[in-house]
Amino acid sequence: MTRSPSTEASPVGVEYLDAEALRTRRRDAGDRILGEVHFSRPPGTVADPGYPVTYVDMPQLNEVPLVEVWTSDRVVQCGTFGDVRYAHNGDALFAAISDPVPVDHASFEQRTAEGYETLFSVSVIEEQGYPHLLRVWNYFPQINDESLGLENYRRFCRGRGIAFQQHFGDAAQRFPSASALGTRSGQLHIYALASREPGEFRENPRQISAYLYPPEYGPRSPTFARATLKRWDGMENLYISGTASIVGHESRHPGDCVAQLDETLRNIVALLTGTARDEACSFRGLEDLVCLKVYLREAEFLPDVRARLQEVLSPHAQTIYLQADVCRSDLLVEIEAVACARTGSR
CA angle 159, 161, 163 (to 5 degrees): 75
Q: Are 240 and 227 in contact (CB under 8 A)?
A: yes
Annotated catalytic residue 334: yes
Which residue from 315, 286, 295 is spatially nearest to 59, judged by alpha carbons?
Answer: 295
Determine which one of 36, 203, 263, 334 is catalytic.
Answer: 334
Q: Are 111 and 117 in contact (CB under 8 A)?
A: no
DSSP 243: E
Distance CA 281, CA 154 (A): 35
Strand order in the sheet with 318-323: 200-202, 227-232, 235-243, 333-342, 289-296, 318-323
Distance CA 135, CA 94 (A): 10
Total residue length of the chain:
346
Classify the C-alpha dihedral 52-297-336-159 as positive or negative: negative
- In one-letter notation, the amino acid at residue 234 is G
Q: List, by residue number, the catalytic residues.
A: 334
